[in-house]
Amino acid sequence: MSAVVVQMPPHATEHDPENIPDRAEYIDRLREILTALEADDPTLFESRLGHLMRLRDNGLFVNLAKLTRELHEAVRDLNFDDRLKQIAGNEIPDACKRLDYVAKLGEDAAHRTLDLVDNSRRLVDSLSECTQGLASARERVLQDGNTLAWRSSLAGEVEATESKIKQVSGQLRAHFSEISQAQEYQDLSGQVIRRVTTLVHNIEGALIKLLRATNDGLKNPTAPPIQTQPGELAGPAVPGLSESASQQDADALLAELGF
Amino acid sequence: MDKNMKILIVDDFSTMRRIVKNLLADLGFSNTSEADDGKTAWPMLQTGDFDFVVTDWNMPGMTGIDLLKAIRGDAKLKSLPVLMVTAEAQRDQIVDAAKAGVNGYIIKPFTAATLKEKLDKIFQRFEAAA
């Protein structure tokens, strides 16, 4: 990791944190502002107020530079440089690609399954056509005047229906095995997700060590590290993780609201 | 309930659109169209003469809650029934959807029976009001 360079603003100096930094300069600046106010000169007032604010900003820059330097030194001292470089440079991009792949696997499998379900629906429709044909054959058997030729034509019809049913049930069976095969993506995606979970744990561990090394330790280690931003959606509920409503809760809540 | 009513299914996941479409077909509603977010749905609603909207919440472009608000704020569409089918399950969100004028709220994952129950309820109310 290359050294972090923070551009220092001109005139910035390190201050003793026990005293007000640049005390004399603040007094001068405030006097200038007061003079401008008393003279009722808005342009001069604005410009002098600007001076005061820049003086304050300079102090902030100094503190920021100091913090950055300390953080960098802490990382270097703990030999985290290489580990963080590895995580940020290789493992996170790699994990993102793997997760994209998992999302695609799931989507492909869902579409394949839905295609097979659509085809199966059509096959089931053709089976109900078969039963209609058989019903009409049954009615005709019960009628009088069954000649030999008529009987053999009827037998032919029934036989054709039999073979149609045989064919359709074979196709349905094949669809069912394809549907169950399409679920094998879950094995692959499960393995990939577990690898990514391990990586996230590693990152969490490294960050906690870093926090402990640079601060007085975690002030509140049980607080969730990432809070949902206002306006951000909570997304799918994960059992045991997020407090969320079930369909029954939602129904009860809507009923309370008069729905 | 008119089985030939025109239904718009709004969800950014094509698999979910297909699933909802199939479930609706099983219930006898086959006059369905699809949109992948609120932005795509809006012009379809303006010109399409739809009788019913089934929408997800979290979608890029325009979310389901914004689509619902747009529908309720539009003179022509304001009384169009809207069923929200979403993974968003926070109480605040359900209350927000109710305030925005949703007609039914289904939390994903859901079953065919839940979809049927909510549809029946919505149309009972509409028929009672008519």
What is the identity of the amino acid at A144? D
Q: Which residue has the tokens 């879950």?
A: A186
Q: Quote the CA–CA distance of A38 and A59 in Å, as a whole number.
A: 28
Q: What is the pLDDT of residues A204-227, one digit of tens each?
A: 887 887 777 766 555 555 555 555
| pLDDT, position B115 | 94
Residues of chain A found within 8 Å of residue B110, distances taken between Cβ atoms: 247
| pLDDT, position A218 | 53
Q: Quote the CA–CA distance of A161 and A152 in Å, as a whole number.
A: 14
Sheet holding B52-55, edge to edge: B32-35, B7-10, B52-55, B82-86, B104-107
Determine the residue of chain A that is closest to B59 in CA distance.
A233
Name the band, by pLDDT with cuts 50, 70 and 90, for residue A14. very low
Domains and CATH numbers, chain B: 7-129 (3.40.50.2300)
Instruction: Tell me if A235 and B114 make a contact (CB, 8 A cut-off).
Output: no
Share of residues in chain A with pLDDT > 70 (%): 80
Q: What is the pLDDT of residues A146-179, one digit of tens each?
A: 788 888 888 899 999 999 999 999 999 999 989 9
Q: Quote the CA–CA distance of B18 and B29 in Å, as a whole number.
A: 13
Average pLDDT score, chain B: 93
What is the identity of the amino acid at A203? I
Question: How far lies A167's CA from each of A124, A127, A137, B130, in Å?
Answer: 12, 10, 20, 50
Contacts 24+ apart (CB under 8 A), A81-89: A81/A1, A83/A206, A84/A1, A84/A206, A85/A1, A87/A199, A87/A202, A87/A203, A87/A206
Contact of B82 with B102, CB cutoff 8 Å: yes
Question: How far lies B74's CA from each of A34, B13, B43, B65, B126, in Å?
Answer: 56, 26, 12, 14, 19
Over residues B38-43, mean pLDDT? 96
Say if residue A144 is exposed, middle or buried (CB neighbours under 10 Å; 0-12, 13-18, 19+).
Answer: exposed
Q: Quote the CA–CA distance of B52 and B4 in Å, as a whole number.
A: 11
- Token pair, residue A86, equals 């590895």
Over residues A181-194, mean pLDDT? 86
Q: What is the pLDDT of residues A124-154, one digit of tens each?
A: 999 999 999 899 888 888 877 778 888 888 8
Q: Quote the CA–CA distance of B10 and B61 in Å, as a whole number.
A: 12
Hey, how many other C-beta atoms are within 10 angstroms of the C-beta on B50?
A: 21
* Residue of A110, A235, A250 with shortest CB distance to B94: A250
What is the identity of the amino acid at A211? L
Q: What is the 3-state secondary structure (H, E, C) of B29-53?
A: CCCEEEECCHHHHHHHHHHHCCCEE
| pLDDT, position B79 | 93
Q: Which residue has the tokens 């209609």?
A: A132
Contact of B28 with chain A, judged by CB distance below 8 Å, is answered with no
Average pLDDT score, chain A: 80
**Within A142-246, where are the H helices?**
148-182, 185-214
Say if residue B60 is exposed, middle or buried (CB neighbours under 10 Å; 0-12, 13-18, 19+).
Answer: exposed
Contact pairs from chain A to chain B, CB under 8 Å: 63
- Does residue A81 have a pLDDT over 50? yes
- Does residue A48 have a pLDDT over 90? no
Q: Quote the CA–CA distance of B119 and B122 in Å, as a whole number.
A: 5
- Domain map of chain A by residue range? 9-77
Q: Quote the CA–CA distance of B113 and A240 in Å, as a whole number.
A: 26
Q: Which residue has the higher pLDDT, A1 or A230?
A: A230
- Does residue A120 have a pLDDT over 90? yes
For residues B105, B110, B113, B118, the Cα torsion angle rounded to the nearest 10 degrees is 10
Contact of A108 with chain B, judged by CB distance below 8 Å, is answered with no
* Residue of A107, A234, A254 with shortest CB distance to B98: A254
- Reference A95, options A200, A239, A247, A252; nearest CA is A200
Instruction: Tell me if A110 and B88 make a contact (CB, 8 A cut-off).
Output: no
Q: What is the pLDDT of residues B71-98, one digit of tens each?
A: 999 999 999 999 999 999 899 999 999 9
Share of residues in chain B with pLDDT > 90 (%): 76
| pLDDT, position A152 | 87
- Does residue A9 have a pLDDT over 70? no
Instruction: Tell me if B89 and A257 make a contact (CB, 8 A cut-off).
Output: no
- Does residue B70 have a pLDDT over 60? yes
DSSP-derived secondary structure for B75-110: TTTTT--EEEEESB--HHHHHHHHHTT-SEEEESS-
- Reference B115, options B123, B106, B124; nearest CA is B106
Contacts 24+ apart (CB under 8 A), A27-33: A29/A55
Contact of B34 with B64, CB cutoff 8 Å: no
- Token pair, residue B130, equals 């008519």
- Token pair, residue B85, equals 């089918």
The angle at the Cα of B66, spanning B63 to B68, to the nearest 5 degrees, equals 110
Instruction: Tell me if B89 and A114 make a contact (CB, 8 A cut-off).
Output: no
